[in-house]
Amino acid sequence: MLVSKPPNPDALPATSPPRADWVLFNGKIWTGAPLTLEDPRRPAHEFVEAVAGTGERILALGSLQELQPYLVSQTVLLDLHGQLALPGFIDSHVHFLEGGFQLQQLNLSRVESQTDFVTRLAGHAASVPPGQWILGGGWDENAWPLRQLPTRWLIDPVTPHHPVFLRRADGHAALANSLALRRAGLTRATASPPGGEIVRDPASGEPTGVLKDQAQDLVARRIPPPTEAATLSALRLALAEASRCGVTSVHNMDLGRSSQSPRPSALEPLLRARAEGWLTCRFYEFIPAELGPETFRELAERMQQDALLRLGGWKAFADGSLGSRTAWMDEAYADALSNFGLPMPWLMVPGRLQSLVRDANRAPAQLAVHAIGTRAVHEILTTLEAVAGTELLPRRFRLEHAQHMRPEEFARLARLDVIASMQPHHAVADGCWAESCLGSARARWSYAWRAVLDAGAKLAFGSDWPVAPLAPLLGIYAALTRATFDGKHPGGWIPEQKISLRQALGAYTSGAAFAEFQENEKGTLAPGKLADIVVLSADLFALPPEKIKDVCVTMTMVGGKIVYQAT
């Protein structure tokens, strides 16, 4: 890819313009910028042939001939060989350190049955010293033939000497074995906490080992915190995965929380990585809303915010998840007629969410609320309407997931300027089984990206990693095809909610940048903006949508530095 020197390196005008440190050329570069001549920072064309940079910023865009005045003998030329370059992908919803830990732990995401589940766990347990916790997860019983939740009695025979805590794929349920329940002091007499459920055997009333939402903390808080070495290793693994996937920025939803323990653990490794120069991704951080304004201010001061590490706001939960049947619905689940899901504590006390919105505005902090079910989304938007009637809401309120909505809610999203922070991969995974618990009428407005955009609301895409793969290209594939993994919807599940390639790319770039107040810094390629760029193995604009899942990242650049290059 490297060229030793540019053509005519000394042919500079008498008054030299700024000199380029590097130039990407001989490719197809999608700027992502609107087609306008009014803003001199934006290129006049959607596609250009070359981009030059100095330091961590973009210097100029155009043809190689147009960039000639910026080239000197020291300029490094990077030949794209016709490949497609784009603004770096911004993932608007990740659990970054948790993703790194999952890369170290037992991965059950490809388990296809209860038998396979037990076999994988038994094999792993044989390599773990007695008494050590077995952690990991990624299992999804909806992908198994019987679609039944596992129990502690299923796994106790293969883990008699190890406490076990394995999270479900969505992170809203976990399975603990009997030894883990004993260590946590959880018995038949233990009551389910607000916003959580201890799943019990219907005949005996005994806990089955499955803990939903807030009930997970009953066991999770007993797990020893990870060591410093393990945490740094998890961060390095996660950063490498982000670079490999072309992700140059993330909105991280769990600062102050790791997969093993609710104890704070994320900030120190991020600060260390930045200080030592190996933080190869930009972080926009959210802390649990329960920590409040004082903690938010303290963390902001400690963070010494810059282009690599910024504190954004608060994350709150309105409900659970669809897969765990804890998303809060207006109507009962079609396959569990007495179950409407679970509201979280922020919605259980009248006026509490309104107070949170007002506190966030005063902090000031951006507020991102997890809402998946129709009732949860409705309650949040109703709260925002009540607050907006009395005071300004300038903080770009975010609705995380926004998976299942009443059809009239999309117009409310736009009217209230609420950003829909959504994860397209969930649709092609959940679409294999979601209609069985939603019913066809309710499913029609699920994962409805087209409806969001048609209403004029803002859309930002992410992955929810490690719930889903970090790879934005898989998300783009999902947004364009809606083809479920079981092969039963090759033309797309609810195909009217498909969106275009440019809309999907925009949600992963400019839309996600807007969602973190950084639209003037990144999300498009323009002079003066951060040089965050991803190069792909094929031209997405020339491919049929079903081929996009096979495209690879060949290079990732963050701030003008190459942080990943395919071999």
CATH number of domain containing 551: 2.30.40.10
Domain's final residue, options 200, 220, 240: 220
Q: Which two tokens stand for residue 262?
A: 């609710």
Q: Do 446 and 528 fall into the same domain?
A: no
Going from the C-alpha of 205 to that of each of 182, 526, 544, the distances in angstroms are 16, 62, 53
Q: Return the higher-pLDDT residue of 393 and 326.
A: 326
Q: Are 97 and 41 in contact (CB under 8 A)?
A: no
Q: Do 323 and 357 fall into the same domain?
A: yes
The strands making up 173-176's β-sheet, listed across from edge to edge, are 106-107, 134-139, 164-168, 173-176, 207-213, 196-200
Q: Do 362 and 404 fall into the same domain?
A: yes
Question: 409, 340, 346, 357: which is closest to 381 by C-alpha?
Answer: 409
CATH number of 333's domain? 3.20.20.140
Whole-number pLDDT of residue 561? 98
pTM of the full structure:
0.89
CA–CA separation, 297 and 365 (whole Å):
10
CA–CA separation, 394 and 340 (whole Å):
33
Q: Are 394 and 360 in contact (CB under 8 A)?
A: no
For residue 482, what is the DSSP state? -
Sign of CA dihedral 348, 350, 352, 354: positive
Give domain status of residue 312, yes or no: no
CA–CA separation, 304 and 241 (whole Å):
26
Is 90 exceeded by the pLDDT of residue 342? yes
The proportion of the chain whose per-residue pLDDT surpasses 90, expressed as a percent, equals: 82
Is 90 exceeded by the pLDDT of residue 332? yes
Whole-number pLDDT of residue 264? 43
Whole-number pLDDT of residue 226? 87
| 3-state DSSP percent of the chain in helix, strand and coil, to 5 | 30, 20, 45
Q: Do 117 and 1 fall into the same domain?
A: no
Is 80 exceeded by the pLDDT of residue 174? yes
The backbone region for 493, taken as left when phi is positive above 0, alpha when psi lies in -120 to 50, beta otherwise, is beta
Domain's final residue, options 439, 467, 499: 499
Find the distance separating the first CA and the last CA of the chain, reported in whole Å. 11
Q: Do 66 and 147 fall into the same domain?
A: no
Going from the C-alpha of 498 to that of each of 98, 222, 308, 480, 542, the distances in angstroms are 30, 44, 33, 5, 18
Give domain status of residue 226, yes or no: no
Total count of domains within the chain? 3
Q: Are 308 and 282 in contact (CB under 8 A)?
A: yes
Q: Do 363 and 394 fall into the same domain?
A: yes
Range(s) of the domain holding residue 69: 1-82+520-567
CA–CA separation, 393 and 388 (whole Å):
6
Strand 282-288 relative to strand 247-252, pairing: parallel
Give domain status of residue 77, yes or no: yes
Domain's final residue, options 170, 204, 220: 220
Q: Do 348 and 472 fall into the same domain?
A: yes
Helix or strand or coil: residue 202?
A: coil
Is 60 exceeded by the pLDDT of residue 12? no
Q: Which two tokens stand for residue 535?
A: 């190069």
Q: Are 232 and 267 in contact (CB under 8 A)?
A: no
For 222, phi and psi rounded to 5 degrees? Answer: -90, -10
Per the prediction, the chain carries an average pLDDT of: 91
Q: Which residue has the tokens 């049947």?
A: 325
Whole-number pLDDT of residue 146? 87
Whole-number pLDDT of residue 255? 77
For residue 226, what is the DSSP state? P
Q: Are 471 and 518 in contact (CB under 8 A)?
A: no
Average pLDDT over residues 434-455: 95
Give domain status of residue 473, yes or no: yes
Is 70 exceeded by the pLDDT of residue 15? no
Strand 173-176 relative to strand 207-213, pairing: antiparallel
Q: Do 350 and 202 fall into the same domain?
A: no
DSSP H helices in 259-329:
267-276, 292-303
Q: Which amino acid, residue 276?
A: E
Q: Are 44 and 37 in contact (CB under 8 A)?
A: yes
Q: Could you read off the pLDDT of 272-306 as tens digits, one per residue?
A: 999 999 999 999 999 999 988 998 999 999 999 99
**Which of 12-21, 64-73, 418-427, 481-490 comes out lowest in average pLDDT?**
12-21
Q: Could you read off the pLDDT of 247-270 as tens digits, one per residue?
A: 999 999 977 554 444 444 578 999
Q: Do 374 and 490 fall into the same domain?
A: yes
Give domain status of residue 37, yes or no: yes
CATH number of 196's domain? 3.10.310.70
Is 70 exceeded by the pLDDT of residue 47? yes
Give domain status of residue 566, yes or no: yes
The backbone region for 392, taken as left when phi is positive above 0, alpha when psi lies in -120 to 50, beta otherwise, is beta
Q: Do 484 and 525 fall into the same domain?
A: no
Instruction: Mention every residue, 6+ apart, whose C-beta is less than 8 A from residue 204.
Output: 188
CA–CA separation, 165 and 167 (whole Å):
7
Per-residue pLDDT band for 44 (boundaries 50, 70, 90) equals: low
Q: Could you read off the pLDDT of 509-529 as tens digits, one per residue?
A: 999 999 999 999 999 999 999
Q: Do 381 and 469 fall into the same domain?
A: yes
Give domain status of residue 63, yes or no: yes
Give domain status of residue 504, yes or no: no
Q: Do 75 and 108 fall into the same domain?
A: no
Average pLDDT over residues 109-129: 94
